Amino acid sequence: MNAEDKTARLGAVYQAENPEDVARVYDAWAEKYDDDMSLAGYRHPAISLAILSRHVPKGAGPLLDAGAGTGLIGEWLTITGFENIEALDISSGMLAVADRKGVYKALHQAALGGTLPFADNQFAAIVSAGVFTSGHVGVEGLDDLLRICAAGGTIVLTVKDVLWQSGFGRRVAELEAAGVLTLIDDTGPYVSMPGEEGTTPSRCIALKVS
């Protein structure tokens, strides 16, 4: 595999200017995504799963994998005893790859950041890895995740640290002060792709919905 091609695909993702661009880039990348991210040492799925398992009982559900991509987390969730999982992603190409893995009860194509196609309080837990980042989704994507997560449920998110420092962390603090949620876990900054030069830090947080 050409390392320059992998780097170009990563660069195109972070330079996307709107949801349509994001979907187009991921559609084109779908078949090579798992291999590329493995080469980059991609940590978000493993760290997100570890944080989720710390706070959500084995077998709880339904769970939503928000920004599921090719189903990396879905595979691992199933292996570790979380079997009632639904997938949401902006890219039909990525969802097609995820569907082949046979780990999701349902797949939904939609973009985070607006109103999602789910009922209030629908999910016992939500995990979203690699979505709240440059060129993707900012703090505007948080409110509807809170709407669709049941009271007492857990939301696990990775957040690019530059987004956290520029307003995401402040919004979480405001919601906590208002009694909407509790920040129950925060890894602090870490590098999500140590095999990719120039990767900037992210963090993984867990929120308990009130």
pLDDT greater than 60 at residue 16: no
pLDDT of residue 11: 53
Percent of the chain with pLDDT over 70: 80
What value does the mean pLDDT of the chain take?
A: 87
State pTM to two decimals.
0.86
Q: For residue 124, what are the CA distances in angstroms to 35, 87, 98, 113, 152? A: 31, 14, 21, 20, 8
pLDDT digits (tens, 9 = 90+) for 37-72: 666 668 899 999 999 999 999 999 999 999 999 998
Q: How confident is the model at residue 77 (pLDDT cuts 50, 70, 90)?
A: very high
